[in-house]
Amino acid sequence: MTDSKYFTTTKKGEIFELKAELNSDKKEKKKEAVKKVIASMTVGKDVSALFPDVVNCMQTDNLELKKLVYLYLMNYAKSQPDMAIMAVNTFVKDCEDPNPLIRALAVRTMGCIRVDKITEYLCEPLRKCLKDEDPYVRKTAAVCVAKLHDINAQLVEDQGFLDTLKDLISDSNPMVVANAVAALSEIAESHPSSNLLDLNPQSINKLLTALNECTEWGQIFILDCLANYTPKDDREAQSICERVTPRLSHANSAVVLSAVKVLMKFMEMLSKDLDYYGTLLKKLAPPLVTLLSAEPELQYVALRNINLIVQKRPEILKHEMKVFFVKYNDPIYVKLEKLDIMIRLASQANIAQVLAELKEYATEVDVDFVRKAVRAIGRCAIKVEQSAERCVSTLLDLIQTKVNYVVQEAIVVIKDIFRKYPNKYESVIATLCENLDSLDEPEARAAMIWIVGEYAERIDNADELLESFLEGFHDESTQVQLQLLTGIVKLFLKKPTETQELVQQVLSLATQDSDNPDLRDRGYIYWRLLSTDPVAAKEVVLAEKPLISEETDLIEPTLLDELICYIGTLASVYHKPPMSGPPLTTSSVQMGAVDLLGGGLDSLIGGTNFVAPPTAAVPASLGAPIGSGLSDLFDLTSGVGTLSGSYVAPKAVWLPAMKAKGLEISGTFTRQVGSISMDLQLTNKALQVMTDFAIQFNRNSFGLAPAAPLQVHAPLSPNQTVEISLPLSTVGSVMKMEPLNNLQVAVKNNIDVFYFSTLYPLHILFVEDGKMDRQMFLATWKDIPNENEAQFQIRDCPLNAEAVSSKLQSSNIFTVAKRNVEGQDMLYQSLKLTNGIWVLAELRIQPGNPSCTVRAPAPTLRPWSLPFVPCQGVVLVEDAVQASLQAWLEPESVRSLKRTFLESFHIHPVRLPR
Amino acid sequence: MISQFFILSSKGDPLIYKDFRGDSGGRDVAELFYRKLTGLPGDESPVVMHHDGRHFIHIRHSSLYLVVTTSENVSPFSLLELLSRLATLLGDYCGSLGEGTISRNVALVYELLDEVLDYGYVQTTSTEMLRNFIQTEAVVSKPFSLFDLSSVGLFGAETQQSKVAPSSAASRPVLSSRSDQSQKNEVFLDVVERLSVLIASNGSLLKVDVQGEIRLKSFLPSGSEMRIGLTEEFCVGKSELRGYGPGIRVDEVSFHSSVNLDEFESHRILRLQPPQGELTVMRYQLSDDLPSPLPFRLFPSVQWDRGSGRLQVYLKLRCDLPSKSQALNVRLHLPLPRGVVSLSQELSSPEQKAELAEGALRWDLPRVQGGSQLSGLFQMDVPGPPGPPSHGLSTSAPPLGLGPASLSFELPRHTCSGLQVRFLRLAFRPCGNANPHKWVRHLSHSDAYVIRI
């Protein structure tokens, strides 16, 4: 008898047939019927109509039948919660069954039925099962606590199940311990603050003991749990390492990798001089190598992890180069990963061997792989200086093959080699030029043009070569166009006499006929530069370029450290830390000046539970969001009786450590008794000491500038945090920013200069003498034409007029007059910004109605009416040019920030005040 | 933690679908997985895929996809290990893993899954432990016959005492608790080695390594003790040497946790009480230093005339096995430059075959005796842009895309490391039944045997 007949197509009466069979007296027939129902369920047929009939079969002493019914229940209980209640009695009864298998089955299934109603019935049976005499029941009950917690966390806490679970960690049965650890870890994740898994030397000791006894899967739970523990000193770290090391030879690769993770993490704490440190290093290599003989899927995951380990501690695998040689029958994703690791391990000692391999790979059939192999040769040249010459000659050999994609790839990497070793290998340019016609990929064309432009003085027919590219200028990709523009300008600066026409041509192509802003901007910059001061142009365009290094391929140290903690997890396969959001870009901030009136005032008056309007929503990491920040004004100021202590937003991270080589900056803005300050918190998350801090602001809308230098008194050692309050003045130079309250900041330390931008809350700019004279208010109010008014409603503002007035006053928004019209309170408000601009508003509050209306004439706050300090046009042009030229040589993040300088210059020309 | 587990047929139809945590989007996920997998660009790894907060990890086994999904940052190793264990388990319980057996045993598979995983946490994958909980009987397609000689699988010796152990004897469910007790008590023990070799174009040996394992499949009642005696000269690590002979040395060795090593140090005997089902008793590896010569050497010579596009390849293959041994199913695979059209060949013996397939030359040698030498001369035309005129045939600079040559083969009754099973003794006392049958087999096969040209 086979199950295959269960898969026949549904006929009309099938459900009825099954119904009849389910209600049959014969046990065998019932069983077969339930099996049929389950088979139908698997292929996606709806058999929920049979729910009552199947539940009727539950009352049986046949374990096989019972299991089948439970299986059905689990699937359909959610869609039929009322029916599921019918089954509860049987569940409760089964939890008392003399057979431990049935007790466990009942408690397991009950937890899987994710129906809220059922949970209250679950508690008593679960409590009993957690203390059951049979370990099989106890281990099932331990997991059930996690299930119940997911459905109703409060219930689990109220019923005291967590304490019972903690007791199970000391259970005599290792399976129970493992499940209890797993359940607790999961519950602890949803309560980060709770001390559920209290790891201390005693509990660690228990876990280490259980480690030797439990199943391989339990060992993984325990090892992962150990990895979260921080030993109190190096002695403890060493003793844990000693007890974990035997796991390295386990047959289950997951156990091995979890052990590797624990060891890699605790090794940080051991002194490198220790004998044990060296021993441990030696022990790590063999298990990693063994992983490479597994199936390709496991190999791939192992290689991704090894890639991280090799970057962190290259010494572990430095002698194992051979195991990363590519096998011809490896899947392509394994091959590419191996190639990457080979480069990371390449050193002077083994470079000959590596190069010989790479050259072989470059002649294989698979195009993707061949390209990567050629690229790898270039990376070798950049990484190991002694090998550069050999790499170049290998690449030349490959170019001789005339295979199109090999040639193109080789030219791209040779460009990088030129960048790394200028004036060394230019003799090969002639060979490269021979292949000019065969290049059809943008990257290769751009690389070739770069080479021609850079070495224009050594190439006799450079102008002809570049001119030939110019013919199809509009069909080229942006990359090639930009390179061509720069290349021809370089050529012109080197051979001005013959190429004047050419440069004119490319400049006009770039500026007049192109709608690509990047290209156009670059074209204009060159044009103005060349026409203003050719000598300066030469200095800028032909300036010495910074050398490239192989570091560009490495993962940043702070990120790497973070990823090392995730060894053996999915994050290590993606090489991304879990839960990392979209990359932070400064251009993502969108908040117009209008929001000052809309979002800003709106929330200023709104209740504390006011939700900032979407326009004012700013990624929290980019600074204190103006909307939600102001909405909290009421809360903080009403209780505190300070004279002018305005609301302070909590500190937000402005500069994440990942972006600033380990320096993390978070901060907020405050206004206290007439003075503005920026409260900064600097944290050193790098491994080296930081000194020589300095800070600078870019010009901004309100002329904010540091009033004192950034004073960090002592050098900032690793993992240290320092809090600084930086007083600000508003006498700096002014430039309109987009959004208006955007502030671009540069922070320097001994390592580098970092840029970030943040938004400051505008209320720090409300000055104390912002109360306008009544007569003047009236006159001004009348003068403002109606069309300049903005009007909006604030909902959920349960305050009366006095409360609103006093709350606003504490943030320097003053009530000039108040009157009562037809039962409504009218408040007339004024405030003054640091640059002397007045803002007026009328508030209408209806008692009993929790919303109030704001009418604000806004002529004074249009962006273009901000007074700009007159500035020298020429100076600005030069600044912009320099900034942009540097930007091309720098990573994308900095570039985009700097581009905003440029755009603000080009798109919004400076207007002088009338 | 695992959110879902499903098995898809090779066409993407769900055979089994199980949701462990109720946090996922339902059955559509299976379809989503299949679409994502088939739409993946070539150089991206399909092993771990990510979609909308859900990670897919899968393996392919017997043309089925075994997939788990999770939304947490768990260990991919444990998931992959779990999947391959599940494949073994399902094989153990259903007889073999395949579309037919799975859909015949849906209820059994669900029951197994419920015991293996609870709320996405792995409970146990040991066949032995699970036996206590599993109630459903496996449904098998056809009765076993000892005379079913259709194919020879991994398990079952070729010949021993003139008896034949057919493959299907090893592919029946281990779970025979309540069914007929007349099932044969049988033990299969395989020593399987995979050989990876890389030889440079100048003939020097760049890399060699051997991955070996001793696998056991037992149909004996659990708890019956057995002793496996290995070659006495067997030693682990570089320093240790035993006996007077050259020694059988391996670099690394790991044992299954149920193996008792009390007698290993002194007598190289492994003692264990295996559970029913499959089990890897021991894994070992050896690299760089092989005790015996490599089984094959290839002497290629290539003549290439770029002008006329004529490519001539002469291959001489020498088998350095002992003359009593032989290699089976030898196949040489030589990638050729793009666009090769015609092939003319002269082969040294009639049973060989050579043809062009997928841009490569395939030379099949069904049987190669130790000590023998075979050769083949192949001539091809490579069309393409005519290169610079050359003077006749040149031996330098072969065209791009030629090579490396790779060999695949099987070496029955041969282990490259020299490791042998001396004996397999059972302490088991059969109750009224015939003596248990023991099958021991040694086999080496190629993993990647590459010779650069």
CA distance A505 to A494: 17
Say if CB B17 and CB B27 are below 8 A apart. Answer: yes
Q: Are residues B86 and B100 located together in one domain of the fold? A: yes
Long-range contacts: A500-508, Cβ < 8 Å, 24+?
Answer: A502/A463, A502/A466, A502/A467, A502/A470, A503/A530, A505/A470, A506/A470, A506/A473
Q: Is B118 in Cβ contact with A140 (below 8 Å)? A: yes
Angstrom distance (rounded) from CA A486 to CA A475: 17
B276 and B348, same domain (yes or no): no
> What span, in angstroms and rounded, lies between the C-alpha atoms of B217 and B220?
9
Task: State the pLDDT at residue A142.
Answer: 92
* Alpha-carbon torsion (B300, B306, B307, B309), positive or negative: positive
How far away is chain A from the Cα of B282, in angstroms, using its nearest Cα? Answer: 9
Chain B residues with CB-CB distance to A140 below 8 A: 118
Q: Which residues of B touch A6 (CB under 8 A)?
A: 106
Among the residue ranges A7-16, A39-48, A231-240, the one predicted with the least confidence is A7-16
Helices (H) and strands (E) in chain A, counts: 39, 13
Tell me the pLDDT of chain A averaged across its residues.
76
CA A743, CA A702: separation in Å to the nearest integer?
A: 10
pLDDT, tens digit (0-9, with 9 covering 90-100), for A570-625: 888 888 887 643 333 333 333 333 333 333 333 333 333 333 333 333 333 333 33
Residue the block writes with tokens 């509050």: A845
A3 vs B331 pLDDT, higher one = B331
DSSP assigned state of A596: I
pLDDT score at B116: 92
- Give pLDDT, residue A712: 78
Q: How far is CA A143 from the centre of its chain?
A: 32
Element (H, E) at B255: strand B252-255
CB of A297 within 8 Å of any CB in chain B? yes
Compute the average pLDDT of residues A538-559: 78
Burial of A853 (0-12, 13-18, 19+ CB in 10 A): middle
**Using the 8-state DSSP alphabet, how is residue A770 labeled?**
-
User: Do residues B92 and B196 both lie within one domain?
Assistant: no
Q: Tokens 């050529």 — which residue? A: A491
- What pLDDT is recorded for position B241? 54
8 A C-beta contact, residue B145 and residue B106: no
Q: In this predicted structure, what is the pLDDT of residue A12? A: 55
By mean pLDDT, which of A81-90, A362-371, B155-164, B214-223 is the weakest? B155-164
Give alpha helix (H) positions in A597-693.
602-605, 626-631, 633-639
- Tokens coding B237: 């690590």
Residue B43 has its nearest CB partner, among A3, A78, A332, at A332
Judge whether A326 and A376 are in contact, CB under 8 Å.
no
* Nearest chain A residue to B251, by CA: A286
Give the CATH number, domain containing residue B120.
3.30.450.60
Task: Give the C-alpha distances (Å, rounded to integers) separating B78 from A386, A727, B86.
Answer: 42, 54, 12
Domain of residue B432, residue span: 186-292+415-447
Chain B interface, mutation test: which of A297, A371, A398, A435, most B Cβ atoms within 10 Å?
A: A297
Report how far Cα B67 is from the mean position of its chain's Cα atoms: 21
CB contact under 8 A, A42 and B125: no
B238 is a domain residue: yes
pLDDT in tens, A382-393: 888 888 899 999
Cα pseudo-dihedral A647, A649, A654, A657, rounded to 10: 130
How is A677-694 classified by DSSP, letter by letter? EEEEEEEE-SSS-B---E
CA distance B83 to chain A (A): 11
The string of pLDDT tens digits covering residues A111-125 is: 887 777 778 888 888
pLDDT at position A843 = 73
Length of chain A: 914
Does residue B379 share a domain with residue B423? no
In a domain, B312, yes or no: yes
| pLDDT at residue A373, as a whole number | 92
Question: Is residue B313 a part of any domain in this protein?
Answer: yes
| Average pLDDT for A754-758 | 84
- Whether residue B104 and residue A364 make contact (CB cut-off 8 A), yes or no, is no
CA distance A26 to A22: 9
Q: Tell me whether residue B80 is in a domain.
A: yes
Suggest the residue from B121, B253, B306 to mutate for an interface test with chain A (most A CBs closer than 10 A). Answer: B121
Rounded CA-CA distance A866/B202 in Å is 78
What token pair was written down for A135? 């370990």
| pLDDT confidence bin for A851, thresholds 50/70/90 | low
Alpha-carbon gap: A471 to the closest alpha carbon of chain B (Å): 28
Q: Hey, are the CB atoms on B135 and A67 less than 8 Å from each other?
A: yes
Residue B305 lies in a domain: yes
- Name the minimum distance, in Å, from the CA of A858 to any CA of chain B: 44
Distance from C-alpha of A832 to C-alpha of A816, rounded to nearest angstrom: 13
- Choose between A154 and A81: higher pLDDT: A154
- Has residue A404 got a pLDDT over 80? yes
Number of Cβ atoms within 10 Å of the Cβ of A216: 20
Last residue of a domain, one of B131, B153, B176: B131
Query: Quick one: B30 and B116 in the same domain?
Result: yes
Is residue A548 predicted with pLDDT exceeding 80?
no
Same domain, B98 and B204: no
Q: B404 preceded by cis ω (within 30°)?
A: yes
Q: Which of residues 769-788 of A touch B (CB under 8 A)?
A: none
The enclosing H or E element of B315 equals strand B310-319
For chain B, say whether A437 makes contact (Cβ under 8 Å). no
Report whether A255 contacts A223 (CB < 8 A).
yes
* A837-846: long-range pairs with CB below 8 Å, 24+: A837/A861, A837/A866, A838/A770, A838/A772, A838/A780, A839/A597, A840/A772, A840/A777, A840/A780, A840/A781, A840/A784, A841/A601, A843/A605, A843/A804, A845/A797, A845/A799, A845/A800, A845/A801, A845/A804
Question: Is residue B236 domain-shared with residue B325, that is, in the same domain?
Answer: no
Domain membership of residue B247 (yes or no) is: yes
pLDDT in tens, A520-543: 888 998 888 888 888 888 888 888
DSSP character at residue A240: H
Residues B265 and B214 in one domain: yes
Question: Of A757-766, A781-790, B146-155, B206-215, which range is least confident?
Answer: B146-155
**Pairs of CB atoms within 8 A across A/B:** 207
Of B153 and A232, the structure prediction assigns the larger pLDDT to: A232
One-letter identity of residue A391 = C
Classify residue B168: in a domain, yes or no. no
Of A9, A76, A16, residue with least CA distance to A41: A76
pLDDT at A853 over 80: no
Of B66, B101, B131, the domain-final residue:
B131
Ranges of chain B with pLDDT below 70: 23-26, 42-43, 140-184, 238-247, 384-400, 428-434
Q: Closest to A251 (Cβ–Cβ): which among B17, B124, B256?
A: B256
> How many Å separate Cα B343 from the centre of its chain?
33
Calpha distance B377→B354 (Å, rounded): 10
Structure tokens at B419: 């490791």
Q: Could you tell me the pLDDT band of residue A847, with boundaries at 50, 70 and 90? A: low
**Structure-model confidence comparison of residues A90 and B152, the more confident one:** A90
pLDDT(A896) > 90: no
Distance (Å, whole) CA B63 – CA B13: 12
pTM of the model as a whole = 0.65
Task: Find the CATH number of the domain harbouring B313.
Answer: 2.60.40.1170
| Count of the separate structural domains present in chain B | 3
Pick the more confident residue, B379 or A880.
B379
The Cα A146–Cα A871 span in angstroms is 66
* Partner residue facing A298 (CB), from B27, B80, B196: B80
Amino acid at B381: D
Predicted complex ipTM: 0.70
Task: Give the pLDDT confidence score for residue A607 in this predicted structure.
Answer: 34
Burial string for A591-614 (b: 16+ CB within 10 Å, else e) reads: bebbbbbbbbbbbbbbbeebebbe
Query: How big is chain A by its Cα radius of gyration, in Å?
Result: 36
Q: What is the pLDDT of residue A429?
A: 87
CB pair distance less than 8 Å for A570 and B70? yes
- pLDDT for A890 equals 39
Structure-block tokens of residue B197 = 């070799």
CB contact at 8 A, A91 and A100: no
Is A301 close to B1, i.e. CB distance below 8 A?
no
> Does B170 fall in a domain?
no
Percent of chain A with pLDDT over 70: 80
Same domain, B272 and B357: no
- Distance between CA B368 and CA B385 in Å, rounded? 40
Nearest to B404 by CA among A379, A356, A333, A402: A356
Query: What single DSSP character describes residue A428?
Result: G
State whether B336 and B283 are in the same domain. no
Q: Is there a cis peptide before residue A739, judged by omega within 30 degrees of 0?
A: yes
**What was the pLDDT predicted at A875?**
29
The two three-digit tokens of residue B288, written as one number = 């760089």
* Partner-chain residue, chosen from A186, A253, A325, that has the shortest CB–CB distance to B77: A253
Residue B250 and residue B310 in one domain: no
Angstrom distance (rounded) from CA A709 to CA A694: 7
pLDDT per residue over A185-224, tens digit each?
Answer: 888 877 766 666 667 888 888 888 888 888 888 888 888 8
B296 forms beta bridges with B319
Residue B17 has its nearest CB partner, among A42, A101, A328, at A42
Shared-domain flag, residues B303 and B340: yes
- CA-nearest residue to B56 within chain A is A570
